[in-house]
Amino acid sequence: MLKTRSKSVDTLLLKNLFRQEIFDIDFRGAVEDFNSAYYSKAYKTIFKLWQKSETCNRKYFYQSLLKTCAALELINQGKLEGSKLIYRAAINQLLTFSSLERPINISLLVDGMIKYFDFIDHDLDPLNNDIQIVERPKIEISF
């Protein structure tokens, strides 16, 4: 269940989330790994960043990305049911940041996750004859 917050708390959370150190070389590498479907490698890098984080809002942001990586890695391992559980938790956390368009477009990531999981869930149904091509979700960085 998504927790509701006041608008001022959300504004403060978003205002303080992105500072220079979040976009260091490690974070950029994690995004490249994520976008190349190396979710396990991206997870390890983001986890190290999470450990070094000093603010709660940044830790919460990294946790949402960690859950996203974990859900997609479980799909790679063929563990659909486990990935669906983590996927739901990831989406709930990512939605907290859905108004962000720069430097990371979270709504595009959320949209990509929803489309991809919907595709995976229905594509495994033997009665579903509808063939679709759906790309894996990506993290888009723009300044």
Q: pLDDT value at position 12?
A: 43
- In the predicted model, is pLDDT for residue 40 greater than 90? yes
Q: pLDDT value at position 7?
A: 45
Domain-located, residue 37: yes
Beta bridge partners of 77: none
Contacts of 75 (CB under 8 A, 6+ apart): 83, 120
CATH number of the domain that 39 lies in? Answer: 1.10.3450
Domain-located, residue 39: yes
Q: What is the distance between the alpha carbons of residues 3 and 13, in angstroms, rounded to a whole number? A: 14
Residues above pLDDT 90, as percent of the chain:
43
User: Whose structure tokens read 């479907």?
Assistant: 37
- In the predicted model, is pLDDT for residue 44 greater than 70? yes
Q: pLDDT value at position 5?
A: 44
Domain-located, residue 12: no
pTM of structure: 0.78
> Angle, to 10 degrees, between the axis of helix 80-95 and the axis of helix 106-123?
160
Tens of pLDDT, residues 60-98: 999 999 999 999 999 989 898 899 999 999 999 999 988
Domain-located, residue 89: yes
Domain-located, residue 17: no
For the segment 3-7, the average pLDDT, to the nearest whole number, is 45
Domain-located, residue 137: no
DSSP state of 3: P
Contacts 24+ apart (CB under 8 A), 51-55: 55/16
For the segment 24-44, the average pLDDT, to the nearest whole number, is 93
Q: pLDDT value at position 22?
A: 52
Q: Which domain holds residue 41?
A: 22-123
pLDDT: is 114 or 18 the higher one? Answer: 114
Domain-located, residue 11: no
- In the predicted model, is pLDDT for residue 119 greater than 90? no
Domain-located, residue 138: no
Q: Enter the tokens of residue 116.
A: 């991809």
- In the predicted model, is pLDDT for residue 16 greater than 80? no
Domain count, the chain: 1
